[in-house]
Structure 1
Amino acid sequence: MFQIVGVIAVFVLVFGGFMLSGGNFEIILKALPFEMMMIGGAAVGAFLIGNAPKTVMKTLGDFGKIVSGSQWKQQDYVDLLTLLFQLTKTMKTKGVIALETHIEKPHESAIFTAYPRILKDHFAVDFICDTLRMMTMNLEDPHQVEDAMEKQLEKHHHEAAAPAHAVQLMADALPALGIVAAVLGIIKTMGGIDAPPQILGKMIGGALTGTFLGVYLAYGFVGPFATRLQAVYDEEAIFYKIIQNVLVAHLHGNAAQISVEIGRGSVPSAFQPSFLELEEAISSVQAA
């Protein structure tokens, strides 16, 4: 919602100020289609040249996150902590054999299928299962497991955040592409240098529209979009970091309840369940 308000503010206040100061939209409107064709076309072309097809498709798919934010909401964090409680509790009380049926076929597991939103996230499920599988193979050194998990998280976050980096590069390029369009406008103007001053003035104004659009789009829209995407990716990465914190705490010999409480401390403040809320969720699962 705030992002939509921001877009409207950037558009209305800039052009509203121009209009109130006595600016003439005729020159801008006349030059706009051609300048946008040059600047926007070059920006999109450079974006396609500089990024892999997977990154291009992910950027298009993730653009809605600028408004919707992270895919994980408060209930998802409660579900994750409850899921990890069940898995670590099962491992502690019933042993490795009882856990294997859940981590080998998570889509058939009674524990995992109780949390469909988490089950849809392939990385989250694989991350949990692979780590628990390492533990069942007697890799019980918390430091080794934590290091292995950290490397997986770094790789995943780097790949997930690629669209934000790509959009930021586009924002960085837009002012220069605006200058390219402006220079072409000046070249066109120089070709008609013998025209009357009124005509030359409009031609120069049209050329400067390119510089304006490049800077305006870069710092008013595309750059903020990239910043917002990066913030969303960083927030989503915390979800997976919680998995690491809980499982490493479990390896250190903590009880399942203590392990998930350590994980609860890493939940973003806006979505963090209270101690009682998490305890009630765990109690309801145990009762079931």
Structure 2
Amino acid sequence: MIGLIGIAVIFVMVFGGYLLAGGKMGIILKSLPFEMIMIGGAATGAFLLSNDFAAVKHTLKDVGKVFKGARWRPADYRDLLCLLFELIRIARNNPVGLEEHIENPHESAVFTRYPRILHDHEAVDLICDTLRAASMNYDDPHQVEEVLDKRMETAHHHALHSSHALQTVADALPALGIVAAVLGVIKTMGSIDQPPEILGKMIGGALVGTFLGVFLAYGLVGPFATRVKAVIEEDGHFYALIREVLVANLHNHPANICIEVGRQNTPHHVRPSFGDLEDALRALKQEAA
């Protein structure tokens, strides 16, 4: 919703101010379709040229994050802590019994209790691979933390590709606007024998290209890239929480302490309160009993 409000504010302030200053939309509206074909078409072509199909698909999908916001909500962080608590408790009480959960999580009674987490393959793979490594005596906390950091850094770098792709388009748009404007000037020079009022409209139409390139770059595409990056970094806290809890587990801290370490390393605005988390863990213990 806030994304739509932002777009509305941009258009109202820019074009509203232009109209209040006595500007006329006629020249802009007349030139807009042709300028958009040149600038938008060239930007689209450059985007397709510089990215493969998977990256294009990924970027188009991530544009929705501008309006949807971060994927993970405070309730998801609480559920993640509960899921990790259950898995850690099983790993310590019945290491053999843990295998059925980490080898086939989609049929696990533990994982299926948290469908939103189960549907995220990155989170599930991160949990299962780390617990599997620990069960194979690969239990040096520092080595595991280093492996997790490298894995998360790689995943984060891949996720940010859509933001970089959008920013590259934003950086190119002002120059493409100049290209369109120069073509408009060339067209005007070919009609130099026309009266001044006609030449004035033609020059105004050419300048629409410069305006459109700059407007799209700094008013829309650039902010889109920034917002996508912010949402991806926000969602990255979810995977960082998994790392914190599982590394604490390798240090052989009590399960409750591992979960509290994760809770305290969660950003404040999505961090479950101590009381809410305690109630959720107490319910899990009662259910298990």
TM-score, normalised via structure 2 length = 0.97
**Runs of 5+ consecutive residues of structure 2 not aligned to the other structure:** none
Q: Which amino acid is 2:142 matched to?
A: H
Give the aligned partner of residue 65 of structure 2: 65
SS in structure 1 opposite 2:226? Answer: helix
AA of the residue aligned to 2:105: P
Give the C-alpha shift of residue 267 in structure 1.
2.0
Query: Identity of counterpart residues, as a percentage?
Result: 58
The aligned counterpart of 1:23 is 23
Shift of 1:4: 1.3
2:40 equivalent to 1:40 = yes
Give, in whole Å, the separation in 2 of the partners of 1:9 and 1:80: 37
Residue 10 in structure 1 maps to residue 13 in structure 2? no
Deviations 1:101-140 (A, max 9, x none): 2111111111111111100011111111011111011011
Q: CA deviation at 1:53?
A: 0.8
Give runs of aligned pairs for residues 257-268 of structure 1, distance below 5 A: 257-268=256-267
Post-superposition shift, 1:88?
Answer: 1.0
Deviation at 1:93, TM superposition (A): 2.4
CA distance in structure 2 between the aligned counterparts of 1:193 and 1:266, rounded to whole angstroms: 68
**Pairing of 1:162-173 with structure 2 (within 5 A):** 162-173=161-172
Q: Residues 118-170 of structure 1: CA distance to partner in whole angstroms, max 9, x if unpaired?
A: 00011111111011111011011001000111111011111112111111111
The aligned counterpart of 2:240 is: 241
Rounded to whole Å, the distance in 2 between the matches of 1:31 and 1:77 is 50
Letter in 1 for 2:27: I
CA RMSD of aligned residues (A): 0.9
Structure 2 equivalent of residue 107 of structure 1: 106
Task: Tell me the distance in 2 between the aligned counterparts of 1:149 and 1:44.
Answer: 37
User: Which secondary structure state, in structure 2, belongs to the residue aligned with residue 270 of structure 1?
Assistant: helix
Deviations 1:57-112 (A, max 9, x none): 11222222111111111111111000001111111222x21211211111111111
Ranges in structure 1 where 5+ consecutive residues have no aligned partner: none
Alpha-carbon distance in 1 for matches of 2:99, 2:272: 30
Q: Find the aligned partners of 2:57 and 2:247 in 1 and give their Cα distance.
A: 35
Structure 1 segments of 4 or more deviating over 6 A? none
Quote how far apart the aligned CAs of 1:194 are.
1.4
Residue in 2 that maps onto 1:177: 176
Matched positions, count: 287
Q: Distance in 2 between matches of 1:90 and 1:276?
A: 23
Aligned-partner Cα distance in 2 for 1:193–1:84: 74
- Whether 1:123 and 2:122 are equivalent positions in the alignment is yes
Q: Which residue of 1 aligns with 2:148?
A: 149
